[in-house]
Amino acid sequence: MKKAVVITGASSGIGAATAIHFGKQGYFVYLMGRNKDRLAEVAVQCRSGASLMSCDLTDLAALNKRIAEITSTTIHKVEVLVNNAGIFDVHSTEQGSDELWQKEFEVNLMSAVRLTRAFFPYFKQHGGGSIVNVSSSLGLKPTAATSAYSAMKAAMINLTQSNSLEGGAFNIRVNCVAPGIVDTPIHQFHSLEEEKRNAAIAQMNPMQPLGRIGTAEEIAKAIYFLGSNDHSSWTTGAVLAVDGGITNT
C-alpha cells in the first residue's frame, strides 16, 4: 500500500503548505477542510496524489463518515495524522461569550481529540503511526485578548504529551509544533491590501529575535520532520517551537 497522510485545515495556510510538502516526499494526501474549491486547488499541487475529504470538523456525523472512508481503504496506508485545523479570535475577557469559547473548543481542540481517538486503533492495527498536533506559541506564552485560543492551544500541548505516553507501547508517536506569527489567512493582516499588509508585517517583524515573521512552508517542514519516521523515529511527546524565538522574549 502507498503511504498516506491525513491533514486537517488543509485548504490554506500551514495545512496547504504541509500537504504540498508531504506530497513532494511521496505521500498520498487526504485533504480535510470545509472549502472544497480551495482543497481542489491544493490537491493539484500534491505530486503524489490527493483526495478531497471536505467536511465541517464540528459535524461529528460528517467527520466519522470521512474517517471511515479513509481507514477502510486498502490502497493507501495512513502513516501520519496532522491535526492542524484551527480558528483564531481576538477578544477581551468581557467579550469572550460562551458561544465563542465553545467554537474555539470544538475546532481547535475537539477535532484533534476525535481524530486521534479514531486513528489510535488504526495505527495499532498497522504497527504504529505518527500524529503531529499544531499548537501555537500562544499555547506556551499567551498574550492579552487571546484567552480562548491560547487556552485551547495549551490544552493541545498537554493532549500531545498525554497521548504520547499511551501510544509509545504501540509505536505511535505523538508530537507537537508550536508556530509563532506566520503569514497565513488565519491572521487578519494577511488579507489586507498589499501596502497595508506590508506595513503590518514590518511592525511585527522586530517582535521576533530573528527579525521576521514565519512562512507556512517553514512550519510545514517542521511538521514533516516530526511526522516522518525517517527523520524523528525516536521522538515522541516533543513540543517544537518554530517561532523565530518569540517565546523567549
Closest CA to 186 of 95, 85, 51: 85
| Residues forming the active site | 149
Residues pairing with 43 in the sheet: none
Cell of 22: 508531504
Going from the C-alpha of 112 to that of each of 56, 85, 89, 119, 221, the distances in angstroms are 13, 8, 19, 10, 20
